[in-house]
Amino acid sequence: FIFLIIIFFTKIVVAEGYDVFGIGLYDVKFDGSQTNQAIDFRYERRFDTSLLEIGPENYNFFDLKPFIGLETTSDSALYFLTGIYLEDNIGTLFKGESSNFIFTPSFGVGAYEDGNGKKLGNTIEFRTTLEVSYKLKNKNRIGLSFGHISNANLADNNPGVEIISLSYQVPY
């Protein structure tokens, strides 16, 4: 909660970043055991203000930045979260030359309401996501992500859920 207040009342709000609009499949299981599949809708605001920079001056590999988000499903589940992400150019990462492909891992924590959807076992849930996006000529991006939401065994029941999403990202 305090982190959200800091975000809303500091210069982070006026920094440039991306608004992320996503749609995906909620409760994807690769072993065929899905229990409550639904459509997942996601919005994130990714701020471009660094919270922590780690690495040499000419290339900060770990440039942690904040985000806030809202995720909901066609089963009326609702998830408000905040967290950190980093971005790295895949070309720079592997070849030393910039490309249009961006790798964005993120970690967040928030409040989850089951609605009519899958019962995740707790109000406090954590989300980890791996995303690869492609930067278009107009600086918008198209992304594909894989995420996992779990309560990290804070409760007796921790079924977790996986989400595959497509996103459209607009700089602001």
DSSP codes of every residue in 103-172: EEEEEEEEEEE-TTS---S-SEEEEEEEEEEEE-TTS-EEEEEEEEEE-TTSSS----EEEEEEEEEEE-
Instruction: Answer yes or no: is pLDDT of 7 > 90.
Output: no
Tens-place pLDDT, residues 15-58: 479 999 999 999 998 887 767 899 999 999 999 998 988 777 76
Angle at 90 between CA 109 and CA 107, to 5 degrees: 5
Q: Quote the pTM value.
A: 0.86
Mean per-residue pLDDT over the chain, rounded: 89
Tens-place pLDDT, residues 74-98: 999 999 999 999 998 898 878 888 8
Tens-place pLDDT, residues 100-111: 999 999 999 999
56-69: b (≥16 Cβ within 10 Å) or e:
eeeeeeebbbbbbb
